[in-house]
Structure formats: C-alpha cells, structure tokens
Homo-oligomer: A and B are copies of this chain.
Amino acid sequence: MSHLYIESDANPRVKRWKKLATELRAVRREGAALLEGIHLLQTVAEHPEVRVHAVMLCSGAVTEEAVDLAETVSAERKAPAFLLADRIYSQISPVENGVGVMCEIEIPVPASEDDWAWEDALYLDGVQDAGNVGTMIRTAAASGVKAVIAGPGTAGFWTPRVLRAAMGAHFSVHLIEGMNLRKFREAYRGRLLAADARGGSNLFEAPDYTSAGPVCWMMGAEGPGLSADALAVSDERYWIPISPGVESLNVGAAAAVCLFDSSRRRALRKGTSPAAE
C-alpha cells in the first residue's frame, strides 16, 4: 500500500482531523467523524455502505493487524491512506494509548421518519455524558431497538468518546440527533415510556406494555433525570425497583434494565428470543 507521509502540523488534513477530534461543531459542519482502533475499523469494513474519506496509520507502534486492516479498508473503499508521524497522530487521536489506526468517515444521512416512527426506539433527553450515551447506543442495538434519537443537550453521537463506547453499534441502528420533544412526539407512532425514579408503575409488576405496538424508552440525564417536558409528552411512566439506601442507578444501567425488560416481554409473548427473530 502506498501512503502519503504527513509530518507537519500545517498540513490542512491534520488541521481538519484535529477539529473533528475535539469540536462537536466541526463534526456537524463537516458531516464527518474520526473512528479509532481495530474494532471500529472492522465494523466499518463490515458495513460497505459507509463512505470512508481517509485511513490513517501512526508511523510508530502499529501492529500487523492494524496495517492489514488499514490496507483492506483503503483498497475496498478507494480511500487514500496516510502515514502520520507519531507526534501528529497523537495530536489527533481521540484515544490515549490507541493502536495507531484510524479512519475518517462520512456520517450517514439520518433515516427518514418512515424508517423508524413505527419501530421500537430509545430517546435521550439531555444526556451529556459521552460514555453513557455510547453505552446506551450499544445496549439499544443489542436489545433489538431500531432507532436512537437525541434531544438537544445530549452528547454528539459522532464524537470520539461516544463512538468508542458504542463499539460499532452506530451502524446497527438509525441515529437521529437534535430532535426536540415536540417534534419527536409528533413524528413517533408508538408509545413513549418514561423511565423515571420519581413515580409511575413498578416496571417488573406492570402488565405487558409491549403488546400494543412499538415503544420508545425515554432516559434523562444523571442527577436531574427526565425533564418536565419529557414527562409531559410521555404516555406511561415506570420506575425500576431498587434497594432502600441506594439513591439511583447509573443511566446506562437503567437503560439496560428497561430495554431488556421490553426485549424479554416481547420474546416471551412471541415464544422466541430476540436473537432468533
């Protein structure tokens, strides 16, 4: 594989990548994202619909596996490959102690409402923590949910920490960002389920809430929980029974409990596990 070698900070591509690594505005303006590491590149390799702008290798500390993967992705997607000086690579790498391989992709065009309005979904109401947002995208995809929608104030789906925590699940669900509650309520055809520790029904004692069509779990930020506006548009409200003396669950853990409660109920009703559907 022939690489273009880059060792200058002044290179316009380097400037662009630095911005994509650190500025949400740049990610949105350019419609591009940086993916680092073997696992994310493998996921890109498995999704031929993803457009790759560039593949970048670090001149030091690159494993054979990383080089092979970079070559494959570069060749199959006709994307230019770059070899970056250590110093340059570490400036743009979103991950500390990475393996030295990265790519820039075009963020997929969000699906139209028709593609997700009748599907099970997850709505994130101002969840700022990137690790939790990424974990929830991954959990949602694993639970069989078809779309994850973010309201304003939620961490950018295509930022490095969210991408890393989601471990490639970005390419298994529809992702829609910046959709406020009013627009979402108008667009979504199923029932909105508020996960809220302050009231509603006990999740485990509630009758089957999955039997009347698609549902969308709504999760709020750590601490404040769902906003008053989110509670106002919700159709039903559930709390997870937790031990006295413990205040609350991490939002990612709470989402896992809720999403897999739905998944379990559906599977029981259909007499099949989600994996077999």
Contact = CB atoms under 8 A, between A and B. Distances in A.
Interface of A: 131, 135, 138-139, 141-144, 165, 167-169, 172, 202, 204-205, 240-250, 252-257, 260, 263-264, 267-268, 273-276
A84 to B, nearest CB: 26
A263 B245 contact: no
Nearest to A263: B241
A254 to B, nearest CB: 8
Contacts of A167: 247-248, 250
Contacts of A254: 256
A202 B242 contact: no
A260 B257 contact: yes
A202 B264 CA distance: 11
Contacts of A135: 250, 252-253
A243 B141 contact: yes
B253 A138 contact: yes
A131 B161 CA distance: 14
Given A252-B252, A253-B139, A253-B256, A204 B267 contact: yes
A241 B204 contact: no
A172 B245 contact: yes
A172 B274 contact: no
- Count chain B CB atoms within 10 A of each CB in A172, A240, A243 and give the residue with the most: A243
- Count chain B CB atoms within 10 A of each CB in A139, A142, A167 and give the residue with the most: A142
A89 to B, nearest CB: 23
A212 B255 CA distance: 29
A241 B274 contact: yes
Nearest to A223: B39
Contacts of A131: 131
A169 B246 contact: yes
Given A172-B245, A243-B144, A139 B250 contact: yes
Given A135-B253, A253-B255, 17 more contacts: A138-B253, A139-B249, A141-B243, A142-B240, A142-B243, A142-B249, A144-B243, A172-B243, A202-B273, A204-B264, A241-B263, A241-B273, A242-B274, A243-B274, A252-B253, A252-B256, A257-B257
Given A256-B256, A267-B204, A268-B204, A165 B243 contact: no
B273 A204 contact: yes
Given A135-B250, A253-B139, A253-B252, A275 B243 contact: yes
A249 B202 contact: no
30 contacts: A135-B250, A135-B253, A138-B249, A138-B253, A139-B250, A141-B245, A142-B240, A142-B242, A142-B246, A142-B248, A142-B249, A143-B242, A144-B242, A167-B250, A168-B247, A169-B246, A204-B263, A204-B267, A240-B260, A241-B273, A241-B275, A242-B274, A243-B274, A243-B275, A244-B275, A250-B252, A252-B252, A252-B253, A256-B256, A257-B257
